[in-house]
Amino acid sequence: MRTIKQNFLERLSAQAEEAEIQKMHALAETLTHQIIKNASNIRGDNAFYSYSSSQLSEDVKNSIWDAIIRIADYYDCGLDALAASHIANDISSQLIDDIRVLSGVEHGVGAYEPNVPGEENNHVLVEVSE
């Protein structure tokens, strides 16, 4: 399972509390579920992490496939795998783009993209001691 930053978990917690205060119980419940689900997969805010756009795309696509399987099983129906594959590809691409835009990210480069060949791996950590 992928990890999330500690700071992001804390922001989700604050949003869940705010949703509860605003009486948006369904949103608060959804956020709380995600907080619990991800609580054991936390990384430090300054920890090195590498995650490519192809890995993100594959993870989102797999989650969409999980939903497709749940839906097909719910309706106890057959599944046209090729057509479902097109749906999974379209929805995952659209979802990634929608969340990127919603978050105010104008470019498509993720914060954790691995270096390309020839790119230097500079991680500058500043330690201040008094």
124 inside domain:
no
What is the per-residue pLDDT across 73-104, written as a single tens digit (0 to 9) for each? Answer: 999 999 999 999 999 999 999 999 999 999 88
- The span from the CA of 67 to the CA of 62, in Å, is 9
Residue 40 in domain? yes
Q: Residue 109: which domain range?
A: 50-116
Model pLDDT for residues 12-33, shown as the tens digit of each residue: 999 999 999 999 999 999 999 9
Is residue 86 situated within a structural domain?
A: yes
Asked if the structure places residue 107 within a domain, the reply is yes
- What's this model's pTM, rounded to 2 decimal places? 0.75
How many angstroms separate the Cα of 41 from the Cα of each of 36, 53, 62? Answer: 10, 20, 19
Residue 122 lies in a domain: no
Q: Do 4 and 45 reside in the same domain of the chain?
A: yes
